Amino acid sequence: MPSLICVIDDDRSVLRALRRLLWAEAFAVEAFGSAEEFLASEHRANARCLVLDVNLTGRSGLELQEQLLLTGAAPPIVFITAYDDRVARERACRAGAVDYLRKPFDDTALLDAINRAIRGS
């Protein structure tokens, strides 16, 4: 059974592209436009890895990470962002993020990070 990867990004186009990429690598993929959508879905418990955009409309990626850590059910998180913010990166890494990728990123970098996440967990 393929590992379930949940991708959360408010950019529809990015979301679609990532879903295709992961799908081509035979991952099970669920895509969400916002943190709220993810939290509301049944897949939050089954996710082996989260590909999470930092700058989300509504609850941000970092806030979601914080919340998941608080509930104790936090899957490994690969952060992606179109805006390189040192403060955000350090905060994400301190909180245990697997990786922090700057858009646009190479497919191998993303897949590496996801594989590390799945192996590590």
- Residues found near other proteins in the complex (CB under 8 A): 11, 13-14, 16-18, 20-21, 23-25, 55, 57, 60, 80-85, 102-107, 110
Instruction: Choose among 22, 24, 82: nearest CA to 50.
Output: 22
Shortest distance in whole angstroms from residue 113 CB to other proteins: 14
CB of 105 to other proteins, least distance (A): 7
Q: Where are the beta strands (DSSP E) in the chain?
A: 4-8, 28-32, 49-53, 77-81, 99-102
Residue among 82 and 93 whose Cβ is closer to other proteins: 82
Nearest to 53 by CA among 111, 14, 109: 14
**What is the edge-to-edge ordering of all strands in the sheet holding 77-81?**
28-32, 4-8, 49-53, 77-81, 99-102
CB of 45 to other proteins, least distance (A): 27
State how far the Cα of 70 lies from the Cα of 86, in Å rounded to an integer. Answer: 23
Q: Which is nearer to other proteins, 84 or 90 (CB)?
A: 84
Nearer to other proteins, 25 or 44 (CB): 25
Nearer to other proteins, 10 or 74 (CB): 10
